Amino acid sequence: MNLIRLSVVGLGVAFLVSGCGGRRSNSKVDFSQMGPSINSKRYANLEKIAAKDLQCDAELTPQYLGENRYQMIGCNTEGIYELRCRMGQCSWMPDVRARAEFDLGCPRAQLKTSIIDPVTTGVAGCGKRATYRAIGTTYGRSWTLNSPVVQDEAPAAAPAEEVPVPTTL
């Protein structure tokens, strides 16, 4: 009886080690090309966040942008997410453009971002610009407006050359 029980336990451990019954791995994503911090659990979490954020039930296509930044594409839209880890605890930073879209009154596709420092990002588009700061804990982060929304000044039009009016005597 002990030999049968030991055999069943050994078989169960073998299945877990080989991947049968362990964590589900996402076969459509090659994690070796997705950066050092990603794994199947973190990727599944990213897919869930991006599907909700992009309002897309279709399969999303991931693209690794470097430095733990990932672009998720689907339903004719895209979002950029960053995996931030601190002492082994990781969380996904949402796309700052989702917040800026509301504040600047500009479609996400027209917004451009520039990283100012690890917690501050600038967003510009539709003739406006603003600065955002990452806030929150390791378990939940978001972006908050850190400056007034500024209207970019359009370059002044060059004055037309004045044409002298002929005079008659």
pLDDT, tens digit (0-9, with 9 covering 90-100), for 105-122: 999 999 999 999 988 999
User: Quick check: is 14 in a domain?
Assistant: no
Beta-bridge mates of residue 131: 122
pLDDT tens for residues 8-30? 555 555 544 444 443 334 456 78
CA-nearest of 85, 86, 48 to 68 is 85
User: Quick check: is 169 in a domain?
Assistant: no
* Boundary-marking domain end, from 77, 93, 109: 93
| Residues contacting 23, CB < 8 A, separation 6+ | 40, 41
User: Quick check: is 158 in a domain?
Assistant: no
pLDDT of residue 12: 55
pLDDT tens for residues 56-94? 989 999 999 988 899 999 999 999 999 988 887 888 998
Same-domain status, 70 and 101: no
12's enclosing H/E stretch is: helix 2-18
- Distance in Å from the first CA to the final CA of the chain: 127
- Measure the CA–CA gap between 62 and 159, rounded to whole angstroms: 49
Same-domain status, 68 and 131: no
What is the residue range of 51's domain?
A: 22-93
List of long-range contacts for 132-140, beta carbons under 8 Å, 24+ apart:
132/96, 132/99, 132/100, 134/93, 136/91, 138/84, 138/86, 138/89, 138/90, 138/91, 139/89, 139/91, 140/91
User: Quick check: is 168 in a domain?
Assistant: no
Please state the domain count of the chain.
Answer: 2
pLDDT of residue 118: 86
Same-domain status, 29 and 85: yes
Same-domain status, 62 and 48: yes
Same-domain status, 82 and 60: yes
User: Quick check: is 104 in a domain?
Assistant: yes
- Measure the CA–CA gap between 14 and 136, rounded to whole angstroms: 41
User: Quick check: is 67 in a domain?
Assistant: yes
pLDDT of residue 23: 39
